[in-house]
Amino acid sequence: PHPQMQMEQMGQFRITVWEEENFQGKRCEFMQECRNIMERGFRKIRSIKVENGAFVGFEYPEYQGQQFILEKGDYPRYEAWSGNSGYRTEHLLSFRPIKCANHSDSKVTLYECNDLQGRKFEICDDYPSLQAMGWCSKEVPSIKVNSGAWVAYQFPGYRGYQYILERDRREGEYRNYNEYSTQAHTHQIQSIRRIQQ
């Protein structure tokens, strides 16, 4: 591609990570994914600034383990991205851009049963409480992402375990809770929202 175009494309995603809290110590800037920060000599990532685009961070190398949504802004320490203080290994060792996020064109279908079966509910907006919207259970057995990228949460109000659900992965089909994450600890999903680029 033309060098100028390439630069513009790359500039859509920019993240800086530090080895210590509060943007101290060893530092590294990325415009694309990082499959293992330890290959750069980091023990772990303790603070982050997202300058452009949205990213998903992972607990372990190779995009494994717990997931953390990272939108534009400052994350001075683990608590700023985790939202789940019960589980305190404090690792963040790999991350990648979320390329299909589109805040103004996002649609997702929630299903009452596994394998995209049973009664369904289509949503295009953010829901801090699925139960307040009329969903009768604390669980969502399967999900189809029709467009954009979403983050689903264990608890109401966008808290607890986070699951990043993207149109461009698995063709947007999440057929049971094991597909939400390589380490989904629970079926529970009580809030869901669009990801902002």
Is 80 one of the binding residues for its own copies (CB under 8 A)? yes
The first and second tokens of residue 99, run together, are 């390329």
How far apart (Å, rounded) are the C-alpha atoms in residues 79 and 56?
A: 15
Out of 27, 77, 99, 169, which residue is the one contacting its own copies (CB under 8 A)? 77
Stretch that binds its own copies, among 12-20, 23-31, 69-77, 114-122 (CB under 8 A): 69-77
Q: Which is nearer to its own copies, 20 or 173 (CB)?
A: 20
How far apart (Å, rounded) are the C-alpha atoms in residues 186 and 36?
A: 26
Is 15 one of the binding residues for its own copies (CB under 8 A)? no
Number of residues that bind its own copies (CB under 8 A): 42
Site for its own copies in 93-132 (CB under 8 A): 126-132
Q: 33 φ, ψ to 5°?
A: -75, 160
Is 155 one of the binding residues for its own copies (CB under 8 A)? yes
Question: What is the nearest approach in angstroms of its own copies to the Cβ of residue 35?
Answer: 23
Question: What is the nearest approach in angstroms of its own copies to the Cβ of residue 80?
Answer: 4
Q: What is the DSSP secondary-structure string of 54-83?
A: -EEEEEEGGGEEEEEEE-SEEE-SHHHHH-
Question: What is the nearest approach in angstroms of its own copies to the Cβ of residue 162?
Answer: 9
Stretch that binds its own copies, among 1-9, 105-113, 157-165, 173-181 (CB under 8 A): 157-165
How far apart (Å, rounded) are the C-alpha atoms in residues 125 and 148?
A: 11
Question: What is the nearest approach in angstroms of its own copies to the Cβ of residue 2?
Answer: 27
Quick check: 141 and 111 in contact, CB under 8 A? Answer: yes
The first and second tokens of residue 53, run together, are 């685009």
Question: What is the nearest approach in angstroms of its own copies to the Cβ of residue 61?
Answer: 23
- Only one residue has tokens 């383990």, namely 65
Question: What is the nearest approach in angstroms of its own copies to the Cβ of residue 194?
Answer: 8
Per-residue b or e along 33-52, where b marks 16 or more CB atoms closer than 10 Å to that residue's CB: ebeebeeeebebbbbbbbee
How far apart (Å, rounded) are the C-alpha atoms in residues 58 and 8?
A: 26
Residues engaged in binding its own copies (CB under 8 A):
50, 54, 69-75, 77, 79-86, 88, 126-133, 138, 151, 154-160, 190-191, 193, 195-197
